[in-house]
Structure 1
Amino acid sequence: MVDDTNVRTGQCHCGAVRFEATLSDGFNLIRRCTCSYCRMRDAVVVMAGTGGIRILQGEDVLTRYRFNTGSVQHFFCSCCGIYTHHQRRSDNSQYALNVACLDGVSPFDFFEVPVTDGVNHPNDTGKPARRAGIPCFVPAG
């Protein structure tokens, strides 16, 4: 299981992109999302605040993807295709980091991961963020 250290290093699958991140609240803010993009990439993310991510290597191979409103950027390695992080739509100054890219962390380290209702995003509905559910990972054996 992961520890509570808020400063983490990470990388994409091939190692071309390396970064350092300062987590906003450790692993207390892990989540998944039901929006079309998050649903297809199935990533578990954790939050980093303004200035909370620093690219150490490979900024030149990071590719940006925007969809729907185009208001946020999703970053992935152009060599291996792994999604590393994205700007948060609800607060563009914050980032969500793919926990699978953090050194020594796996999405399977977390028993429960809350899922945010991204299909009905607060920026679209004007309503507060809503939890869609909480899937659990129970190891076999």
Structure 2
Amino acid sequence: MNYQGSCHCGRVAIEVEGDLQQVMSCNCSMCQRKGALHWFVPRSALTLKTPEDAMSTYTFNKHVIKHHFCPACGIHVYGEGTDPKGNAMAAVNARALENVDLEALQVQKYDGRSK
């Protein structure tokens, strides 16, 4: 299925192709504060619909995940990193996607605080 998403003001917009059934809720210092529900997809399944320079990027801790957000409204849209096998991945914030019933999704809890 094809999903459209964006930050609140629309400055950062994405399109994602995939089967959205499960998301991850992480309790690390960053994720707990932003409240994102991460949907992991291959990076190739995500298309940025707005210019790349429209967003800001934040890294912390080991600096291996690029957290992309809108510098105008502050909404986190997605992050980028690699899976354990080295494949490029995107962690899409399901809360930033249109027409998604968040209550219908399976939420896997991840203890990022302990990592």
- Give the TM interval when normalised to the shorter protein: 0.7 to 0.9
TM-score by length of 1: 0.71
Unaligned runs of 5+ in 2: none
Alignment of 1:98-137 (within 5 A): 98-107=93-102, 109-110=103-104, 112-121=106-115
Alignment of 1:10-49 (within 5 A): 10-23=5-18, 26-49=19-42
Could you say which structure has the larger radius of gyration? 1
1:69 to 62, 67, 75: 62
Provide the C-alpha distance between the structure 2 equivalents of 1:118 and 1:43, rounded to a whole number of angstroms: 13
Does residue 26 of structure 2 align to residue 9 of structure 1? no
Higher relative helix content: 2
Aligned length, in residue pairs: 113
Shift of 1:74: 0.2
TM-score by length of 2: 0.85
* CA RMSD, Structure 1 to Structure 2 (Å): 1.9
**Percent identity over paired residues:** 27
Higher relative strand content: 2
Give SS of 1:114's match: strand
Asked whether the equivalents of residues 61 and 79 of structure 1 are also in contact (C-alpha less than 8 Å), the reply is no
Q: Between 63-72 and 112-121, report the one with greater CA deviation.
A: 112-121
